[in-house]
Structure 1
Amino acid sequence: MTSCEERDILNGITGAVNPGEVLAFMGPSGSGKTTLLNLLGGRLIQSAVGGSITYNDQPYSKFLKSRIGFVTQDDVLFPHLTVKETLTYAARLRLPKVLTRQQKEKRAVDVIYELGLERCQDTMIGGSFVRGVSGGERKRVCIGNEIIINPSLLFLDEPTSGLDSTTALRTIQTLQDIAEVGKTVITTIHQPSSRLFHKFDKLILLGKGSLLYFGKASEAIVYFSSIGCSPLIAMNPAEFLLDLANGNLTDTSVPSELEDKVQMENSETETGNGKPPPAVVHEQYLVEAYESRVADTEKKKLMAPLPLDEELKSKVSSSKRQWGASWWQQYCILFCRGIKERKHDYFSWLRITQVLSTAIILGLLWWQSDSKTIRGRQDQAGLLFFIAVFWGFFPVFTAIFTFPQERAMLGKERAADMYRLSAYFLARTTSDLPLDLILPVLFLLVVYFMAGLRLSASHFFLSMLTVFLCIVAAQGLGLAIGATLMDLKRATTLASVTVMTFMLAGGYFVKKVPVFISWIRYMSFNYHTYKLLLKVQYQDIMPTVNGIKTDSGLKEVGALVAMIFGYRFLAYLSLRKMQLHCEA
């Protein structure tokens, strides 16, 4: 066994930011910017790291979590919701219970105008396959999702990533506007333009987890000049600072003592004597310079934390979650949001065409089939088995994508304590049911009458109920596989093998299954659905059809109901165990 080596990712970081200020974390890739931001924002599990995090000398708590906004680097949004719908649902879930629905919705509208999103408020967010708002507007919607709770502290991870310079400048100006009303804003930034750089009030420059500078952003160049490091040509200050942090000394003047050390290490590295590379020597010099010149002064400023009154102190130390809505309200909100988001996919022309064209082909192949003769009933049994297979296969491969695709959204929203996992799970799995019923009804309306199956209302509705039980059971299997594996390739492979096995054991291809493997048949929703469909059509004609006995049907219904709840329970347990950024 190989032992895990412990490494210090961050070392000796000191800094402070006050309400009304924007602090930027800057540094090359791998310098620890995002790790530091996640630690401060409570997005990393405390037990996984050494040390402690306090706010005004108070430990991180559930109450503090409700006063902190965190905007991730990736824009995690539902593509089919409009800007207004996105912010309204966030307001209804996150704002305190004491506010009415009208007050929460008004807050969403206020944020839309505050962020300048009024022109696109009725436009869908959009995504890879859906045309929607621009990149800058998406980022402002993400910021709106967080400032809607009026946080005291706002963290942002690379808010200008992927934006053009003008849009990035507008985004940083938005952060300044937020800070000016008394909020504290902390953001990571990779390589800002000079205009962006001068928008920041304070700067923390990191190099491989060490602090190279903390202070006013406008004084950073002056400080580095004071230790002998200054640009030789006119250049973007941010570019110069990143060159320093990377150990790139091109177009940079350095003090003679550092230049001598670098040249010495260059020659010794070439001889292969195990000495540290020049970049490490350069970083050590910058860290030592900061420690000897600035660090002590800055640390003394932070020794006396701001006092808190006793009432606020008790709230801050509270470990109780501040839910914005009751469990039932959370369920209802998430149910409505789920239907609005997914109705576009369910009723896409591609899916409707797929279902209806299959139904028409089946209707033509079994056109007015004969149920009075044994041969005709055998032919109809083939149709009924195909219906059981089709409505077992289709929902499994639709449901597989549910949780893997929504994992990022679930992680983000649960990290912000927007809702309970149980409310999300129940809303997510029940909001599909009304949508799942419409296409099978259309399918059966075409197939049933074209194929000449039993023409009575009771037979039709019992067939519909049987198909619906099959769909919900198959959907449960897809949810369980997707939630357990959380990987689409592996989940699709496992589902393919499982569905194929269930189909083969479904009672049509093999009449007599060997005893040692017969248990597979009873796990197959295809088998139970097939038996029920045969019972609905032929029980009053003959007790055995195509080698299958049509008994009371209670065992089959019981088995499908057990699958409906059993698979979903397994999916829920898998989500509970999933490593999110918060407690499940």
Structure 2
Amino acid sequence: MANSTCYQAGAIGLPIQTASSWTSTGCSQGFFCPNNTADALPEYCPPLPDCQVARLSGLTCEPQGVLEPVICTAGYYCPKGAKSMIKCPAGHYCPQGSYKPLLCGRGARCSAGSVQNMDFLPLVILIILDLILVSVVVLIGCGSRLKKWRPRQQKRANRKTYTFPGRLRGNNYQELEAFRVQGEEEADIAMEAAFAPPQRKRTGFEEIMEPEFNAEQELGDTGKLSSDLQLFVQSMSKCIGGEKFGLNFEYHDLKFQPDKSKKPVLSQVSGCINSGSLWGVMGASGAGKSTFVNVLMGKTPHTGGETKVNGVAGNMSRFKKIIGYVPQDDIVLPELTVRENILHSARIRLPYTWTETEIQNHVDILIRCLCLDHVQNSLVGSTAAPVISGGQRKRVSIGIELAASPSAIFLDEPTSGLDATSAASIMTTLKALSRLGITVVTIIHQPRQEIFDSLDSLVLLGAGRMIYQGPQIHMQPYFEQLGFTFPKHGNPADAMGDIIAGEGRLYKPHGDATVQGLIDNWQNFSAGRDQGGSSNISVVEMASLNATIKSRGARWYFQIYFCFIRSIVQQFRLQESFWFEMGTGAMAGGLIGLSEESQKGQNFRGIFNEPYSLLSSAIGYTSVPQMALLVGLAIGLTAAPSGVKIFGEEKLVYWREAAAGHNRFAYYMGKVISTIPRMVFANLHFTTIFFVLTTPRISWFAAFAANLLYFYCIYGLASCISMVCRRDDGPLLAVIASLIVGVLNGMSPTLARTSTWHVLWLWRATPGTWLAEAYFTENLQPLEYLYNIDDAVTSLGYHLGKYSLDMWVLLALGTAYRVLAFAGLRFMDRHKQR
């Protein structure tokens, strides 16, 4: 065969090479051989320098001879034995090496000669969904504003203010007479102006403080407050299963010593706290107040002594469903309204036999009794950006516990940070609750005189030992008997605070005024003395109490539902975060799409199948893994900060609810399920924008599924990070972790190379590898007719044709991350969940 059959004019002096394996009369599919016949077989011609450069650069060049095959040009298709390239018809696209036209998507505008499938239908659907979401948000926002609107006259009519000052004077809480002479009223107002302003709204529980109030008799139609209180008492009776609400706590020789401490924090503490009274636990810093209360509640397992509830000894934690605890810091969800915070607690903690109507009525009554009805639809807000006042916020925190109808309630510094008016209101509410029969125990520090006088009984601690226990009115005579002198016009609480803090010399110039002396005096004084008596309980009452405990709490599947709904509401209220994540996903998809747009859908270049391997351009085996790498990194940057916030910002809420008997698994599952819609929408924005610009061979649904499961993995990984780091560090560490698992995707170093290092298991343990393998399979399998895929598989180490397995493994990894996160949530900081 003459040289002219291989080279065009001007290309002389180069050898001819005929491929002996080309025995057919035409090209294989995907190649163009216009001059081949049975007598003129296809042949390979060494490329000219320009053609060689082009091929090494990954490009193609013209045939080097009239008989040399060439890969079918993009925009055309070449069936087997093609003598001419056929232009891709309208409605189809033909990437390079096509042997038949491929049908474009329904939303693509593919004119004749199209080379890629740029389907805009997912983008149109995405825009429609976004418009629907925005419309729903706007309509709900408008509806909320209309619901809050009230005529001014109606607002003024609903304002009920209490104009009688001085309501916390003395131990009997006697109110000033409504009709005093103007001079006497002004005098009282002037004397007590430093404590409470003359104008203040009353809480519903203040009705109990009326001298004529009797909770056991029919109140009759005496007004709104009396009716509400009657209903509240009936609701409490129904919940507890009897008329006796409170719990009696007996303790004898209590001792608590931490494992690594040489000295006990609490020791030789004995006494009894009876129901139906308001107790104050006081002492200097480090005196053991919090430890004492935690032992009584069952939060801290004591290392010595005995504790009884209603005369029955046992594990205190079994009573936590009927014991409320209000921490010093108001742990409420700022994104929820006053009513929503209280209602969730009622739904979770009231007896599972209660209907939704009964729960709603119970919450209505409680909100009115707490005088929160006028702000019940207001957001609580955070301490940095409050919406309601500090006193109202504290009443919400108390209401969360009262919603569960507890038999005892413990409070840590309930008046801390409040003004005098709010503090007075809170203490009056607590006093009223004790008069209902509920056991109320509060840790209090340096109370003003009016608040101190409101306490029925005191527990004074010093150096972890008992200094005094008994009625508040007997405290001063007891210390005076020991030789201490109280200022005539001072606050006895201030003097007592100095004495039990070790500054007793200010009030006792001579004799022993040390804390140890006070401890010894009380031990001698209380020896053989009844400190409150034993609380005997009948078998019937104990059985009723046990039945009450067992009935408390919604079923676990209902708790999952309630937690899911609450989390969805939180996300709706935090719309900025939601739209930011959607925008971040869309922007990430756009940037990656732009980086891949120049490929025009040709994301892989390999060695052509025999006998066309000599015609191959420079290989690009890592193009698809590189695309998967960018996808993984983008999803990590989008999902990691949001995923870490699921639990990282609500640990205090979880600890409080877990300690109250909330099902931990239900709480976790409710939060996890609530993130699914968020992941779907974020992934929808990311995948749609990415797919429109990149136009890979993988189908949109396959890419969406793979990306969604990778979102699922990153959210789970971020949840794990949130369990082991501080709140402020969580987002950054989660992003770093997502970048690490994204980089370990088998692109560089390849899986084939890592297997020689015997660390392949590390790469296979990360979701990035399985995402890349899924992309590798779906992008390469359609090209098996054209390229030698086996060489690419051997070179990189991925498995081909395992897309379903890749999806299952991603699902398993995301679930494993969540299992680890739940284990961290459940078993880390266990002492805070008691």
Pairwise same-fold verdict (TM > 0.5): yes
Query: Could you say which residue in structure 2 is the equivalent of 1:478?
Result: 718
2:760 to 512, 518, 526: 518
Q: Secondary structure at the match of 1:300?
A: coil
Native 8 Å contact 1:125 1:133 kept in 2 = yes
CA-to-aligned-CA distance 1:30-62 (integer Å, 9 cap, x gap):
1111111111112112xx521121023212456
Query: Could you say which residue in structure 1 is the equivalent of 2:354?
Result: 99
Query: Could you say which residue in structure 2 is the equivalent of 1:329?
Result: 558
Q: Does 1:437 align with 2:680?
A: yes
Query: Could you say which residue in structure 1 is the equivalent of 2:773?
Result: 531
Query: Could you say which residue in structure 1 is the equivalent of 2:182?
Result: none
Native 8 Å contact 1:202 1:215 kept in 2 = yes
For the pair shown, the structure with the greater C-alpha radius of gyration is 2
| Distance of 2:677 and 2:371 partners within structure 1 | 36
Native 8 Å contact 2:763 2:769 kept in 1 = yes
| Distance of 1:399 and 1:579 partners within structure 2 | 21
| AA partner of residue 370 (structure 1) | K
Native 8 Å contact 1:14 1:214 kept in 2 = no
Query: Could you say which residue in structure 1 is the equivalent of 2:238?
Result: none
1:338 to 567, 588, 591: 567
Query: Could you say which residue in structure 2 is the equivalent of 1:13?
Result: 269
Mean CA deviation greater in 104-113 or 363-372: 363-372
How high is the TM-score relative to the length of structure 1? Answer: 0.85
CA-to-aligned-CA distance 1:344-402 (integer Å, 9 cap, x gap):
44752443443333334344444474124857997676444311222145434433444
Q: In the TM superposition, what is the alpha-carbon distance from 1:464 to its structure 2 partner? A: 0.8
| Distance of 1:189 and 1:129 partners within structure 2 | 24
Mean CA deviation greater in 230-239 or 543-552: 543-552
| Distance of 1:331 and 1:286 partners within structure 2 | 52
Query: Could you say which residue in structure 2 is the equivalent of 1:469?
Result: 709
Mean CA deviation greater in 6-15 or 366-375: 366-375
| AA partner of residue 669 (structure 2) | L
Query: Could you say which residue in structure 1 is the equivalent of 2:743?
Result: 504
| Distance of 2:383 and 2:510 partners within structure 1 | 53
1:289 to 521, 527, 530: 521
CA-to-aligned-CA distance 1:305-335 (integer Å, 9 cap, x gap):
2332212223546897544211211111111
Q: In the TM superposition, what is the alpha-carbon distance from 1:405 to its structure 2 partner? A: 3.3
Q: Secondary structure at the match of 1:507?
A: coil
| Distance of 1:330 and 1:71 partners within structure 2 | 21
Mean CA deviation greater in 360-369 or 144-153: 360-369
Higher helix share: 1
Over 3 Å counting, the alpha-carbon distance change for 1:522 and 1:568 in structure 2 is: same
| Distance of 1:226 and 1:359 partners within structure 2 | 80
1:358 to 585, 588, 593: 588
Over 3 Å counting, the alpha-carbon distance change for 1:391 and 1:83 in structure 2 is: same
List runs of 5+ in structure 2 lacking aligned partners.
1-258, 606-619
1:193 to 416, 438, 448: 448
Whose relative contact order is higher, 1 or 2, with alpha carbons under 8 Å and at least 6 apart? 1
Query: Could you say which residue in structure 2 is the equivalent of 1:58?
Result: 312
Q: In the TM superposition, what is the alpha-carbon distance from 1:249 to its structure 2 partner? A: 4.2
Mean CA deviation greater in 384-393 or 102-111: 384-393
| AA partner of residue 302 (structure 1) | G
Query: Could you say which residue in structure 1 is the equivalent of 2:819?
Result: 569
| AA partner of residue 298 (structure 2) | G
1:175 to 402, 410, 430: 430
Query: Could you say which residue in structure 2 is the equivalent of 1:145?
Result: 400
Query: Could you say which residue in structure 2 is the equivalent of 1:41?
Result: 297
CA-to-aligned-CA distance 1:89-137 (integer Å, 9 cap, x gap):
1111111012101111211121111111112211222226654333222
Native 8 Å contact 2:604 2:780 kept in 1 = no
| Distance of 1:569 and 1:112 partners within structure 2 | 38
1:533-552 matches, within 5 Å, as 533-542=775-784, 544=789, 550-552=800-802
| Distance of 2:672 and 2:384 partners within structure 1 | 24
Q: How many pairs are equivalent? A: 549
| Distance of 1:301 and 1:519 partners within structure 2 | 66
CA-to-aligned-CA distance 1:526-548 (integer Å, 9 cap, x gap):
12112323433443134647965
| AA partner of residue 445 (structure 1) | T
Q: In the TM superposition, what is the alpha-carbon distance from 1:301 to its structure 2 partner? A: 5.1
Over 3 Å counting, the alpha-carbon distance change for 1:396 and 1:65 in structure 2 is: same
Query: Could you say which residue in structure 2 is the equivalent of 1:270?
Result: none
2:530 to 278, 300, 305: 300
1:352-431 matches, within 5 Å, as 352-367=582-597, 369-372=599-602, 382-419=626-663, 421-431=664-674
Query: Could you say which residue in structure 2 is the equivalent of 1:450?
Result: 693
Native 8 Å contact 2:310 2:535 kept in 1 = yes
CA-to-aligned-CA distance 1:403-427 (integer Å, 9 cap, x gap):
44333222221221122x2222222
Native 8 Å contact 1:368 1:450 kept in 2 = no
Over 3 Å counting, the alpha-carbon distance change for 1:113 and 1:555 in structure 2 is: same
Q: Secondary structure at the match of 2:281?
A: strand
| Distance of 1:399 and 1:372 partners within structure 2 | 34
Q: In the TM superposition, what is the alpha-carbon distance from 1:459 to its structure 2 partner? A: 1.5
1:220-235 matches, within 5 Å, as 220-232=475-487, 234-235=489-490
| AA partner of residue 514 (structure 2) | H
Native 8 Å contact 1:63 1:322 kept in 2 = no
| Distance of 2:305 and 2:807 partners within structure 1 | 56
| Distance of 1:155 and 1:133 partners within structure 2 | 23
RMSD: 3.1
Over 3 Å counting, the alpha-carbon distance change for 1:301 and 1:24 in structure 2 is: closer
Over 3 Å counting, the alpha-carbon distance change for 1:566 and 1:374 in structure 2 is: closer
Native 8 Å contact 1:82 1:122 kept in 2 = yes
Q: Secondary structure at the match of 1:540?
A: helix
| AA partner of residue 357 (structure 1) | M
How high is the TM-score relative to the length of structure 2? Answer: 0.61
